[in-house]
Structure 1
Amino acid sequence: MANQVYKETQTYRGTWVMYFILMVELPTLILLLVFFIQAEDKTEMGIALSVVGVTMSLILLFIFNLKLETRIDQIGVSFKFFPFVRSWRKYPREKIQSISVISYSPITDYGGWGLKGNSTTKAYSILGDKGLLLDIGEKKKIMIGTMKAKELEEYLSTWKEE
């Protein structure tokens, strides 16, 4: 186990969230196109269609590029949550007082998915209701979402023993 590394990458690509956004955006754009074709003032409707199209594209691009990466090795726990946390946040093994895989309620415990928190607790999650909870002392806790809870628990059982 000495050189084993746990890695996990989470995105919205290929998830129900991505398909839901597409199911909302495509009919909206089609409806606006129909209005554009029937409009008497094509300039005004063209501007509206462009603004809505660009806005929807930017939202889709933003969500498409969200990525939560987690890495655990013999040195410690690292993660980054692009585009909010661009460089790796590293927590050395010695600084971690406790580490465990938890089940949580995203809405009631942290106020939803994404980047959430206050001065004592931070949560970074994409989807799901499982996470890695780190207690790093000084009354600070960090929860990193995971979609591979069983694999992470197995890794942590041997990681803690080292």
Structure 2
Amino acid sequence: MPTDPTTNTEPTVPAGTPSRNAAGGSSSMDVGRDAERRLQQRYARPARRKPTKRSLLWVLVAGTLVASAFVIWILVAGSNRPATKDVGFELASASQITADFEVTKNPDDVVRCGVEALNQNYAVVGYTETTIGHVDPDLVVGRTSAHRVEIRTTNQANSAQVTQCWVID
């Protein structure tokens, strides 16, 4: 009886792959593992080593040192900056307001402060800068001294506040 040439009942084996035989040749599991190993070697990333406890300890120590240095840097940088506190304001006229504030600074520092006047919509209607140098020791409590500044305004102001103070070199 003629056989159909389009059907193949024999399993095909790729070239270069050991074939199975009845006399104890390679099993299909060994062939699969060998092929997987070769593909892994050729195309896969190299296996990563697990980090050792010692390397994890060094990373932890380095991270702690960096975090500590950052905190110390923030504390030291902020300690030299003058601090302000708005105390109040007095509306003198539609074109002038007086701001009262306190400044805490090192006694030897010369500080310049920006003070602004705001209207009811919180828009700036006046701005001035004032320089604070040496303050009479009788007027200083600790390192804090009180100050008053007049601000000319373009429109009616409803409040006044210190925006920022900085040390002049």
| Larger Rg computed on CA atoms | 2
TM-score (norm 2): 0.23
Structure with more of its chain in helix, by fraction: 1
Q: TM-score, normalised by structure 1?
A: 0.24
